[in-house]
A and B are shown apart, each in its own frame.
Chain A
Amino acid sequence: MNWRRMWAIVVKELRQLRRDRMSLGMIIGIPLLQLVLFGYAINTDVRGIAAGIADEANTSASRALVMDMLATEVVAPVATADTPQQLMAMIRRGEISVGIVIPPDFERRRHDGRPVAQVLVDGSDTAVQAAAAQLARVPVDSATPDMRAPLRSTPPTGAISVVGFYNPERRSAVSIVPGLIGVILTMTMVLFTGIAIVRERERGNMELLIATPLTSTELMIGKVLPYIAIGLVQVSVILAVGLWLFQVPVRGGLLDVFVVAGLLIVANLALGLMISTRARSQFQAMQMTLFVFLPSILLSGFMFPFAGMPKVAQWLAEVLPLTHFVRLIRGVMLRGAGLREMWPEALALSIFIVLMMAAAILRFRKRLD
């Protein structure tokens, strides 16, 4: 390991990057784009669902219940009807997504404990369905409102009591942004090094490099170092914008956040190097990156809860760096956990780094055949 040679690679990479507008744009552009996309567009806090109301009882108590439901802002009234049948027709035509029905015997039901109201839900949109469930939590004095959706059966009320302890307002940006740091790093970092070596092979630079005393360790470490710095810049951008746009908190130590992110960055860079030693062309490298990226997004627990996945998927997920990162970063940023309490996850990432890096260095041959 010759430090001068390794450093020469670092300087060369940075100089090339400075002149590569496309990659420079990717460093800042991808995090911003993804933050905005995930933060705003893919928003699970549904509000203002079009609703129709059929208040067949029309007593002061029933009107009060309807007002309470509307006050959640989950639904917005767009139509009134006389019968549940009319509401169902409106749902079928797509004019409304939710129908609120108060039966004529509302007052009697309030006292004998039977369901006092029905919420008809357009079950074709799961987001709407989930949001409408919030309506069931509207309290009715001396009676629990039932949530019966004739178009799609739902578990009985009372049993579902969703309490967002660390995200009481259930704002999705808060739970998404920490994991999103990992998704963005996985996407950009793997690609950076995944392409790095193939590109030089395609351009012919590699034939020159391997004919010199440069060792594969010097080359690999020299390729990784500059991108660690770039990854940390990305993390800072995401944290700053996340705080500014979505008030995403950092409850644990900021240093811990960067250490955890640093681990994921190196893990992904090492994975990229490994891909680069296997891929024959830049296109192949991108395909392989995608091949890792998709399972990472789907299985890491970033998008879907880990507990609900089949056993095989869970085992697979344990191999992916993003899985461990998502656990670590949610712990540090949202629950205020210290890195020391979560050492097994950090250890898993470290093992991944050592194995990948060693594999990449060993696989890289200073030969053309």
Chain B
Amino acid sequence: MNAAAAEVASTRGAIRARGLRKVFGKLVAVDHVDLDVPSGQVYGFLGPNGSGKTTTIRMLCGLLTPSAGEVEVLGLRIPQQAEALRSRIGYMTQKFSLFDDLSVLENLEFIAAIQGIPRGQTGARVDELIARYGFGDRRNQLAGTMSGGWKQRLALACAVIHEPELLFLDEPTSAVDPESRREFWENLFELADAGATILVSTHLMDEAERCHRLAVLDRGRLVADGTPAELTGALAGRTLVIETDEPRRVRGTLQSLSGVLSVVQVGNTLRVLMQEAADAGRTEQRIDHALGQAGHRAQVSAVPPNLEDVFVVATRGGADERTRAA
């Protein structure tokens, strides 16, 4: 990208969608989503399974035709100008979509050719990616015989082989161990530093926290968006942690109290999210008092809100029964 083009892209943003909607038969998979993704950032799509992340990404890539709404990606109208967009984006599908029966090297060579990298430059580019993603002695291994972490690295290498301006990554770390996840995110920030815009979907809170900005999706609707700090900041004063020996009983008491939106158990502590913010200390005292009256021994303290709280508030209720994965 030259400077002028970069200027235009950054002022317009990489992706702009208005009233985006997709209906499958009677099912509304994506409903009136407005989206603005700035250039050069890692933008997260946070939402549980079935919330419409994949469907939205497919519409943004021009693979699905929206039922309604307008989309502009890298200054191109989608789906009308989707063909012009293809060579400028990289797309890593949720399911591994490279060829199981081709080796790492063969997959890279194939994608390089398909992406129009000149024959003379392919060797160097493929070698560079093999070195960068650590494939060294696996270059001749069949993709299908590799573990989830290696497959995902290969998929990322193939998605960036033509140095796209915009990268769509659909739950890239779902089949990957924590160690590989950490490495993967380091790779993403490296790519973002080099100027790429990255849209990454996830259902993991800790991943969402690392994004520059994110959008929270629930049942096809965009329920919140902003930087992680903005989103959590809006909940200041509404989150408490209660330490107790009898978490399940305390939880029962809490759920009957007014103003409590959700209670999530994490080991022997309970994380409480209040309906409304109150003055510092007031909520804490009120809950402490109520638990004392019910005869529970418990320690109540205020904590800063996190993205899970954001998600619970955004989707309103229904989350009480979930127990957070420790």
Contact = CB atoms under 8 A, between A and B. Distances in A.
B63 A15 contact: no
Contact of A204 (B79, B97, B106, B113): B97
Given A207-B97, A367-B65, A368-B63, A214 B114 contact: yes
Nearest to A215: B83
A210 B95 contact: no
A5 interface: yes
Contact of A205 (B82, B97, B119): B97
A211 interface: yes
B64 A205 contact: no
A203 interface: yes
B116 A5 contact: yes
Contacts of B64: 367-369
A4 to B, nearest CB: 5
B163 interface: no
Contacts of B115: 212-213
A203 B96 CA distance: 9
A368 B98 contact: no
A207 B93 contact: yes
Most B-side CB within 10 Å, residue of A8, A16, A209, A213? A213
A12 interface: yes
A2 interface: yes
A65 B234 CA distance: 113
Interface stretch (B84-92, B176-184, B200-208): B84-92
A368 B54 CA distance: 12
Contact of A209 (B65, B106, B114): B114
A7 interface: yes
A105 interface: no
Contacts of A112: none
Contact of B102 (A16, A204, A208): A16
A20 B101 contact: yes
B20 interface: no
A4 B63 contact: no
A205 B100 CA distance: 10
Contacts of A207: 63, 93, 95, 97
Interface in A174-206: 203-205
A19 B142 CA distance: 10
Contacts of B95: 204, 207
Contacts of A20: 101
B91 A211 contact: yes
A203 B114 contact: no
Interface size class of A (residues with CB under 8 A): 20 to 34
A8 B63 contact: no
A203 B61 contact: no
Interface in B107-156: 109-111, 113-116, 119, 142
A19 B109 CA distance: 18
Nearest to A20: B101
A211 B114 contact: no
Contacts of A8: 109-110, 113-114
A368 B65 CA distance: 8
Given A367-B65, A369-B65, A213 B87 contact: yes
Contacts of A210: 63
Contacts of A16: 99, 101-102
Given A12-B102, A16-B102, A369-B64, A211 B96 contact: no
Interface string B274-285: 000000000000
Nearest to A218: B114
A211 B89 contact: yes
Contact of B114 (A213, A366, A367, A368): A213
Contacts of A214: 114
Contacts of A7: 113
B219 interface: no
A175 to B, nearest CB: 41
A12 B99 contact: yes
Contacts of B16: none
Given A212-B115, A213-B115, A367-B65, A205 B98 contact: yes
A5 B102 contact: no
13 contacts: A5-B113, A8-B113, A8-B114, A12-B99, A12-B102, A15-B101, A203-B97, A211-B86, A211-B91, A212-B86, A214-B114, A367-B64, A367-B79
Interface of A: 2, 4-5, 7-8, 11-12, 15-16, 19-20, 203-205, 207-214, 366-369
Interface of B: 58, 61, 63-65, 79, 82-83, 86-87, 89, 91, 93, 95-102, 106, 109-111, 113-116, 119, 142
